[in-house]
Structure 1
């Protein structure tokens, strides 16, 4: 029986498929090569347009949107747009986030005839940007009337299945051409596992875990991307086994869960976690990808008998299982193993930070700031971290149902402002808290205007300490290259949106901070906290100091007197 079809314009078909995939918003910047699709979007009102101040922040917004929505997309124009957004797409690739980057491109007529066009290299080669995106996307295609149905569907499904970004070039002269397209909606579904491989894999994993004396589970970010955190908690409960996360996966496992023990990062682990993970006689590691910032500068050492489970494959010793999906494997293992009742859970309660011993009327310090933020958090919050002293968020205990959004692997400063816009768009009913330093904020501060334009109501908590504090721990404690211009940050909401109802605060003492954080969050809150440039959490400084040794080697300049910030005498108190 033939598949029902209908006639449809190619641009309308693209927008229909985006909507069917659950993408309700499209971020980006208009340009002459994408205006045909934008006009169709405006006419059809199927997908809402969210215009951003630049393509880079559009890619960050699509990333943040995808983390809460499951898929995200942006629309840019040929050449200048893809190259501006490629950093954000590279971050989505590093962080395993499914984003569709659509570039309105030069007309097919110009490609066929070799006609020179603006926003190209003017060298007659029209494949530069497709080639540029190959290292940072899992799939790429230029859409034509002949391949539109196959390639549009392939790119969307591939992004969703692989949890990685894809790149689509959409020539400007094809949007209004009619083609035959499927009438049936697009279905996003995992290909089912090979039955024999699934059965054998489940049996092997279940045997190893159920016979182990001290099984444990270690979670990386793919547990969130592939939505298997509930299965992992079910498995931990049945095994009475501890669960740890790497710092990039903070919040993926509910931190109030009875078997959650904290962050594993080798020697930089939270108390008791390193011993629990490294002494396990059967560790189940979920898509573990070690780099220096997630392993305590390569001090992590997983047991040799670790089971490495990935989205579509699994390793147990010398055995490799392909064509299995992570969710099906975990559900099968949960059903197959007996419930353990005699094992004692090795839960480690993290120490709660407190600032009760610090004078609230004294000059604001990091030691007062982070315990105050801990008290500010509540269940269901969406929390954002950017590179810098805001990494201290990793040391806080998150209430139930919180979501952590960061770019730990990629580490591009300014990411969080664009991601905030995207995630606010995806989940406007949740409370969103951006924790950021002045240096990171200046990279993408203009996107605050879009957040205000759409009347979003996040809490933006900015530390103004005169520059790149985390870099001062690497090199250049007092050197001018780590300094930045001092803005009146708290005034920006009014500058960018004069009629805003946003509430702004300039905070200089602990009491000021407590007053600002007690403000009702019924509108945007912007809190600018003034701190000393050389005041930084000890853990952040130690990490920077070690990072300098890794980056620069024994002959590097970091050993010169006074060139490196070191951990402050005043530690954050537990």
Structure 2
């Protein structure tokens, strides 16, 4: 007997809200605008999703990105033209970093399109598809909803975002949200389709044969390991193969760093010798979603074995053979099941010295002393959000205890990302401790979102490095150039300015002893620690990465050849 789908009627707006809830979204980020107000009123009337409300659409997109990294998917609400284009940088970052964000744009009423009316928040012409076209390179699906297509398109876009782990863009014309349409009664089923059975079996057999015959198998994990939820399978593979696991810097913290099989971050020539040996010397490297980007490959110095196995979310390359419709989790599960178990080494204990017991040097606070104290401060289950630049580079050098999440934007690299992102991570996982690491230059781009964090009574621990400007850029080019300087703010005073009456604890520290004392403060509200450091002091990984970037960016006759132009 053919199955039948029971149906009822709902307004288009209510159906969209229902599908967002069914996808696991509990919070919506964005800014109110006249083309989305009717949809927001429906959301408020339904009282089942929480409206976060951001200071601007760019920050909202960053917050939606952070939320989706921990929650699996997120919702972003903007208005036509001005709102959508303000958010596009954040959505583009989610696209490059494989983060599923459903961007809903309250857009021009359909009657305006039918009658060729000239509207505000446009270019003053009838190029009604301009914003949708702008989003096309940075989303995996786009649509303009109509009463005729709304039900099918809402389901298609949400499912596509979830399956492909990338953003989608949906225009909701302002005059259709209250129109009733026939909708299915069944909930949205978020599933990855089954693999082609023959391709799956043949591919798994080939991988098992190669791994079991190899003398030095190894695993290299990129972002796909986290986004497609295969960390457990990867760690089981390492257990059965007794093989090392390395991670691309996009995947810091994805693999348990106390595992006896984890060897560290692989960044090409900048990797530790034992990591390079494990990866580059492997006679069967299983590469999980690895992309060769300059910032993740040590400036293209990564030397991966030519005969590696490249596994992605929905396809595999093994030598000359390409396997389509083979899905990552199902494939790795099949491979794990076909491998025999072996006797295992004991796990490594996490044994960092608590920050309160660290012997601190005298004198001005340095990057080395700073990160040494941070190492003793982090604990199991923490969420670390590290801004592009010295904060990210310092974070890469930390050994994380089990259960930590490390959030960064290693590929897109949009400075200011983390201040919005931490708002999203806090709402996605309120039971965990969230540590934001940010520099003064990046912070100035998105600082106003601290007010949203305080308005929702969220309690991150914010570590801000005040070193007078863009230190990571001073490493690349312009050590003493004015274009790398910024205005000096009273950063630790901002929580009280942005949210009068706040109980946030704020500190300005200039020595390691002062930082150590601040770290001992009770965590009963936001903690904001402004650490003042020398503008020429940078973590060694930042110096190496910056100089490598200059070589890639400028070539052999570039300005980095001038004496004294780099830290």
TM-score, normalised by the number of residues in structure 2 = 0.97
Task: Provide the rounded CA distance (Å) in 1 between the counterparts of 2:203 and 2:566.
Answer: 51
Counterpart of 1:572? none
Kept after mapping to 2: 8 A contact 1:273/1:348? no
Task: Provide the rounded CA distance (Å) in 1 between the counterparts of 2:358 and 2:234.
Answer: 39
Match of 1:115, SS?
Answer: coil
Task: Provide the rounded CA distance (Å) in 2 between the counterparts of 1:11 and 1:18.
Answer: 11
Cα displacement string for residues 133-166 of structure 1 (whole angstroms, at most 9, x for unaligned residues): 1100000000000000000000000000000000
| The one of 17, 20, 42 aligned to 1:18 | 20
For 1:36-185, list aligned pairs within 5 A: 36-185=38-187
Kept after mapping to 2: 8 A contact 1:34/1:104? yes
Task: Provide the rounded CA distance (Å) in 2 between the counterparts of 1:448 and 1:91.
Answer: 21
Cα displacement string for residues 541-571 of structure 1 (whole angstroms, at most 9, x for unaligned residues): 1221221122112222222232221xxxxxx
For 1:240-259, list aligned pairs within 5 A: 240-259=242-261
Task: Provide the rounded CA distance (Å) in 1 between the counterparts of 2:313 and 2:300.
Answer: 24
Deviation at 1:479? 1.2
Kept after mapping to 1: 8 A contact 2:358/2:376? no
Task: Provide the rounded CA distance (Å) in 2 between the counterparts of 1:358 and 1:428.
Answer: 33
For 1:129-528, list aligned pairs within 5 A: 129-341=131-343, 360-390=361-391, 391-528=393-530
Match of 1:512, SS?
Answer: helix
Kept after mapping to 2: 8 A contact 1:437/1:464? yes
Residue 534 to residue 184, structure 1, CA distance change in 2 (3 Å): same
Match of 1:51, SS?
Answer: coil
Match of 1:561, SS?
Answer: coil
Task: Provide the rounded CA distance (Å) in 2 between the counterparts of 1:119 and 1:467.
Answer: 35
Task: Provide the rounded CA distance (Å) in 2 between the counterparts of 1:414 and 1:91.
Answer: 12
Task: Provide the rounded CA distance (Å) in 2 between the counterparts of 1:115 and 1:12.
Answer: 27
- Mean Cα displacement is larger for which, 124-133 or 263-272? 263-272
- Mean Cα displacement is larger for which, 315-324 or 146-155? 315-324
- Mean Cα displacement is larger for which, 448-457 or 346-355? 346-355
Task: Provide the rounded CA distance (Å) in 2 between the counterparts of 1:14 and 1:107.
Answer: 17
Kept after mapping to 2: 8 A contact 1:272/1:348? no
**RMSD value over aligned CA atoms?**
2.0
Kept after mapping to 2: 8 A contact 1:93/1:136? yes
Q: Is residue 552 from structure 1 mapped to residue 531 from structure 2 by the alignment? A: no
Counterpart of 1:571? none
Match of 1:409, SS?
Answer: coil
Match of 2:285, SS?
Answer: strand
Task: Provide the rounded CA distance (Å) in 1 between the counterparts of 2:205 and 2:525.
Answer: 53
For structure 2, the 5+ residue unaligned runs are none
Q: Is residue 532 from structure 1 mapped to residue 550 from structure 2 by the alignment? A: no
Residue 351 to residue 214, structure 1, CA distance change in 2 (3 Å): farther
Kept after mapping to 2: 8 A contact 1:134/1:140? yes
Counterpart of 1:568? none
Kept after mapping to 1: 8 A contact 2:260/2:345? no
Cα displacement string for residues 105-156 of structure 1 (whole angstroms, at most 9, x for unaligned residues): 0100001110000001112110001100110000000000000000000000
Cα displacement string for residues 213-269 of structure 1 (whole angstroms, at most 9, x for unaligned residues): 111100001110000000100111011111010111001101011211111111111
Residue 179 to residue 359, structure 1, CA distance change in 2 (3 Å): closer
Task: Provide the rounded CA distance (Å) in 1 between the counterparts of 2:183 and 2:545.
Answer: 54
Residue 41 to residue 159, structure 1, CA distance change in 2 (3 Å): same
Residue 133 to residue 352, structure 1, CA distance change in 2 (3 Å): farther
Deviation at 1:271? 3.8
Kept after mapping to 2: 8 A contact 1:262/1:348? no
Task: Provide the rounded CA distance (Å) in 1 between the counterparts of 2:349 and 2:525.
Answer: 38
- Mean Cα displacement is larger for which, 272-281 or 532-541? 532-541
TM-score, normalised by the number of residues in structure 1 = 0.95
Cα displacement string for residues 466-518 of structure 1 (whole angstroms, at most 9, x for unaligned residues): 00000011111111110001000000111111111110000011100000011
Residue 66 to residue 29, structure 1, CA distance change in 2 (3 Å): same
Deviation at 1:36? 0.4
Task: Provide the rounded CA distance (Å) in 1 between the counterparts of 2:349 and 2:378.
Answer: 21
Task: Provide the rounded CA distance (Å) in 1 between the counterparts of 2:423 and 2:241.
Answer: 40
